[in-house]
Amino acid sequence: MKKELNKRLDDVYENYKQGMISRRDFVKFLGISGAALGLAGGPFGLVHKALASKKSITCHSWGGSTSEALRKFAFDPFTKATGIEVIDAAFTGMDAFLTQVKASFPPGGEFNIAHLSAVYDYARYTDLGFGVVLDETKIPNLKNVMTKMTETLRAITKGTLSAVPYDLGQTGIAYNTEKISKEQAEKLGASLLFDKSLKGKLGSWGGDFRTNMWYAAIHTGQSPNDIKDIEAVWNVLKEQRELIKKYWASGSELMSLLGNGDIYATVAWSGRVAALQEQGHPIGYLAPDGTYSWMEYMYVIKGTDLDVAQKLLNFMLEPGAAIAVAKGQNYPPSLDPAKIPMPDEIKKLPAFDPTGKLEGYLFADPVYWNKNQLDWTEKWDRIMAGK
């Protein structure tokens, strides 16, 4: 039994180091194992002592190339410089992650920093009481972040910050340049997504009601953050459904549909468009006025050691680290290009703004969208299902 428990302890410890289980669950397992083995010292005691004494912080992100870039260009160099371990873990899904965070309260320390996306999640986590007040004097590199990004977050947390903006993206419009000319795409703008001549060759993201309503609002001449004629939006989405070949469910499916020529136009994440362009596919990117824009930010969750978190965040905002991560994940960094020179690889990315002012970039109003989420999600699901 002792041999089996020691083997199990080794396996669990490896999973803990890789971020696959929480610190709380690991400590719980240590307690159970120690009681079963009757150990207070030996290998068990060494592991427990190391866990108790070594500083670490956990960051949940998106997995794949994003996590790889964070690990290579930010987390590992930070650990080398400070001795503080950064445990990176991937989301299993945003709703599932939020449920996990809720279950961890009162704060237990296993959820520290979350690489969240979209302003409405910043508001949602803050409204639930999960935020902190960062000491900005401990994050001097914040001065290089684009002002519109920090001010958008400050407006929600009454002048303070619970997160630092880290990268910028858009859900714009991708189109096949061999089937749709640049002139045609720019002339139609958002209405390209509703062009009847493209029946059977259009796509959209089935998993997000906001994105679909956003472009339906622009198509009907309305502000996405202040829709006056909601029935007009639902009507054009019903009409669009008859033109759609596929509602894609993931970034990889989006890239497959575009790359294989199965669809000619769709809403698309700017980073995925950049990846397709790098691979040589004939994909153009359209960002009409009012394009659905979003920022990703590093949200610090209540209960986290702020000294460690702020040290890590400032390190991640160092131009060398932030730009390298941006190259790795194909999204421009939050750094203001008017203050920090950007390499050509960043300048050519969709969603990059050389001015740093982000004029024409429209973020979702969190109060507006969150208060209507339940009703509109249900309505969108029925439309997508053809009901």
Structure tokens at 200: 């059977």
- The pLDDT of residue 40 is 38
CATH of residue 271's domain is 3.40.190.10
Instruction: Please tell me whether residues 258 and 122 are part of one structural domain.
Output: no
pLDDT tens digits, 105-155: 766 568 999 999 889 899 999 999 999 999 999 999 999 999 999 999 999
Same domain, 176 and 251: yes
Q: What is the pLDDT along the chain (387 residues), one digit of tens a residue?
A: 445 545 554 555 455 444 455 544 554 454 454 444 443 333 443 344 344 445 899 999 988 888 999 999 999 999 999 999 999 999 877 888 999 999 887 665 689 999 998 898 999 999 999 999 999 999 999 999 999 999 999 999 999 999 999 999 999 999 999 999 999 999 999 999 999 999 999 999 998 999 999 999 999 999 999 999 999 999 999 999 999 999 999 889 999 999 999 999 999 999 999 999 999 999 999 999 999 999 999 999 999 999 999 999 999 999 999 999 999 999 999 999 999 999 999 999 999 999 999 988 899 999 999 899 999 999 999 999 998
Residues 190 and 204 in one domain: yes
Residues 68 and 111 in one domain: yes
The answer to whether residues 288 and 306 belong to one domain is no
Structure tokens at 203: 């796509």
Residues 324 and 314 in one domain: yes
Does a structural domain hold residue 22? yes
Asked if 75 and 129 sit in the same domain, the reply is yes
> Does 373 fall in a domain?
no
Q: Look at residue 361 and tell me if it is in a domain.
A: yes
Cα dist from 235 to 194, 204, 301, whole Å: 12, 16, 40
Cα distances (Å, whole numbers) of residue 261 to 174, 251, 258, 272, 283: 12, 16, 5, 15, 10
Q: Look at residue 233 and tell me if it is in a domain.
A: yes
Do 46 and 70 fall into the same domain? no
Q: Residue 178: what are its φ and ψ, rounded to 5°?
A: -85, -15
Domain count, the chain: 3
Half-sphere exposure of 40 (CA within 13 A, CB side): 0
Q: How many helices, marked H, and strands, marked E, lie in the chain? A: 18, 10
Both 268 and 179 in one domain: the answer is yes
213 and 358 both lie in a single domain: no
Unique residue bearing structure tokens 């050509």: 344
Model pTM greater than 0.85? no
Task: Look up the domain containing 187 and give its range.
Answer: 169-293
From start to end of 63-162, where are the E strands?
A: 85-90, 113-117
Do 94 and 183 lie in one domain? The reply is no
Residues 320, 238 share a domain: no
The secondary structure element, H or E, covering residue 248 is strand 244-248
Q: How far apart are CA 333 and CA 335, in angstroms?
A: 5
196-231 residue pLDDT tens: 999 999 999 998 999 999 999 999 999 999 999 999
Q: Exposure of 378 by Cβ count < 10 A (0-12 exposed, 13-18 middle, 19+ buried)?
A: exposed
Beta strands in 11-99 (DSSP E): 56-61, 85-90
Residue 202: beta bridge partners? Answer: 244, 265
Cβ(134)–Cβ(302) under 8 Å?
no
C-alpha to C-alpha distance for 105 and 349, rounded to whole angstroms: 39
Distance (Å, whole) CA 70 – CA 322: 9
